[in-house]
Amino acid sequence: MARLSLGKPFANAAEKVDKRWHWHKLPTPLGILVLIGIRDRLREQNLHDTGLPDGEPPAWDERHLTARTVDGTYNNLQRPRMGAAGTRFGRNVPLEHTHPEELPRLVEPNPRTVSRELLTRDEFVPATTLNVHAASWIQFEVHDWVFHGHDPSGRQWQIECADDDPWHEHPMRIDATKPDPDRDGDGRPATWVNTETHWWDGSQVYGGTAEDAKTLRTGELGKLAIDDRGLLPEGLEPKDPDYTGVPGAQWVGLTALHSLFTREHNAICDHLHERHPELTDTQLYDKARLVLSALIAKIHTIEWTPAVISHPTTVRALNVNWWGVLGERFDKRFGRKTSNDVVRGLVGAPTRLHGVPYSLTEEFVSVYRMHPLIPDDYTFHSVATDEVLQERSFRELQALEVRERFTELDMDDVFYSLGVAHPGAIQLHNFPRALQEFHRPDGTVLDLAAIDILRVRERGVPRYNEFRRLFHMEPARTFDELTDNPEWARELERLYGDPDRVDLMIGMYAEPKPAGFGFSDTAFRVFVLMASRRIEADRFLTVDYRPEVYTQAGLDWVDENTMRSVLLRHFPRLEPSLAGVDNVFAPWRRVR
C-alpha cells in the first residue's frame, strides 16, 4: 500500500476498528483506510534491526550507479552492504521476543507428530480460484529472496518417531540452520544470514555469484544462454547430481518459469538493442536485468498477489501500491507528475527506510511457508486438443527428471496443463505427501512438513498467539476461537493442550480466512508491512526508476507488459486458453 501516514491517533483508531469489526468486513474505502492505519502501526513497532555484519563491500565501480550488482551491494549508496547477500535477516517483532526455542520445548509437541496428525494430505483439497502456476510462481520468487544455506558443521536435531511411524530412520535427523558466522556472543538473540540478496533483483534468473552470472551469459547482445528447448544448455547445469541447495528443489513447473523469464530477458535485449544500438553487451545485460526484475515485481504485486488474496480491498490497495490512487490509465496517459506516492504509487517515488536498514525478515520467511499449494499428481494435456499426454506424480517431475520430461513434452503443453489444473488449498491436512517424504537429488529423504515446524521454532519466531499479539491482533483464547472447524479444534486441543502452544504455521493453516484469501489474515499482517517495504527501500524501484537508468524503452516495457503478454510472446499457442481469463494465475480455459 502506498504511503499515507495519518499519525498515531489514526493508527490507534484503525487498530480498534480492526479488532472490533475486522478490516475485510468493511466497505472497500474504509477497509483501505484501516489497512493504512495498520501499516503505519507496523512500520512504527514492527521493524527491528539485527545489525550489519562486519566487512567491506567490493571495490567501487561506476557501473554500480546504474546497474544491480550480483551480490546486492551498492543498492543503497550510503550503506553499500545493506540488503546484500551474506547479511542478516531482520525481525518484525522486538528482539527480546526472538530467542530460539531450546530443548525440550524445541521439539514439543513433536514436529513429526504434528506433520503426521495435522498436515498429512488424506484427500487433495484444491484451491479452485487458482492454477498451479500460482504455486510455481511463489517458489520461483522465494528462490530470489531467501535461503539460509547449509551448516557445514553437520549439526543435527534428533526427532523421536512413534513406534508405528514408517519413517526410514529412528530418530529422524534434521540438519540445524547454519549459524551466523559474525555473532559476537554478547547475549543478544541469535541471528541468521541470507545467502541471497534481500532485493527484488531476479537473482533466481541471473545467478547468485559472479561466476554463476558469467557462466549464464552468452557474451553477445546482453543475452542469457538457453537451448532450443528453452532449457539451460547441459554444460551449464550442476555437474554433480548430489547437489543439496536451491537447484535440488527444481521441478517441471519451476523450470518452466525459469525458461520463460530467460526468454523474456533475451527479448528485452533485442528490444533495447533495436532502439539503442550503441549499447554494449554489458550495458544491454544490465538494463535488461533492471527491466526484467521490475517486471517480475510488478507481476507479483498486481497479478499474483491479487489472485491469491482476491478481496476487493486488497486488490485495490495493491494496484495503488504500483500505479497510485489515480490508477494505471491516468498514469499511462499523463505520467507521474508528483512525488507523492499515494497519487503516483511507490514505484519511482522517493526511497524510504522508516529509520531501519532494509532487510527481509525471519517472520517474512515464516509466513511464506506455502507447500500445500503443490499437488501430488499431474495430468499433462495437449494445448491444441486437450488430449491427455501423460500422467505423472510429483516425484517424476523433480530435479533429476526435468530434462527427460521436457524431451517428452513441449513447453507450451506444460504451461497449458498447469494453467488448467488447481493447486492445493493452504490449510491443515493438505500438505503434499511427496514433500512429507521428499527425495532430494543427493539421496537424502526429508519430511518438509516437520522441518517447516522445527525451523520456525529454531529461528525464534514466536508461536501463533504470541505472534498475533506482537502484530497487534487478538490471540485465540480457545481452540474453537482459533478455527471454525470443530474437528480441527479437537485435534489441536489434543495435540497442543493450550492455544498458546500452537505453532505459527499450524495456526495460520487452521484459522478462518477473509473472503477471497488463499492464506491467513495473520500472514497478511507481515505482507501489509513488507510488500511496500521491498519496493520503497529499493533504489532501482524508486529514485532510479527513470529513463536515465532504464532507458525510456525499458520503462515502457515494464509498464506495457503483464504475465499474459510475456506468456503469449513466447508461447502464442496458449492464446485460446487465455481468452477471457482476467488473471493468468486463475484457472485457464480448457481448449476443445
Provide the annotated active-site residues.
143
Alpha helices in 497-546 (DSSP H): 504-510, 521-536
SS3 category, 487: helix
Q: Which residue, 317, 296, 362, 290, is CA-closest to 138?
A: 296
Query: How many whole angstroms separate alpha carbon 259 and alpha carbon 266?
Result: 11
Asked if 306 and 257 count as a contact pair (C-beta separation under 8 A), the reply is no
How far is 511 from 482, CA to CA, in rounded Å? 6
- Residues ≥6 apart with Cβ < 8 Å to 125: 424, 425, 427, 429, 430
- Distance in angstroms (rounded) separating the CA atoms of residues 271 and 269: 5
Give me the residue label for grid cell 505453532: 503
Q: Give the CA count within 13 Å in the CB-facing half-sphere of 509.
A: 31
DSSP string of 436-486, one letter each residue: HTEE-TTS-EE-HHHHHHHHHHHTTPPPHHHHHHHTT-PPPSSHHHH-S-H
Q: Given phi > 0 = left and psi -120 to 50 = alpha, else beta, which region is 55? A: left
Q: Which residues contact 420 (CB under 8 A, 6 or more apart)?
A: 131, 381, 577, 587, 588, 589, 590
Report the amino acid identity of residue 499. Answer: P
CB 530 within 8 A of CB 364: yes
- Asked if residues 538 and 75 have their Cβ atoms less than 8 Å apart, the reply is yes
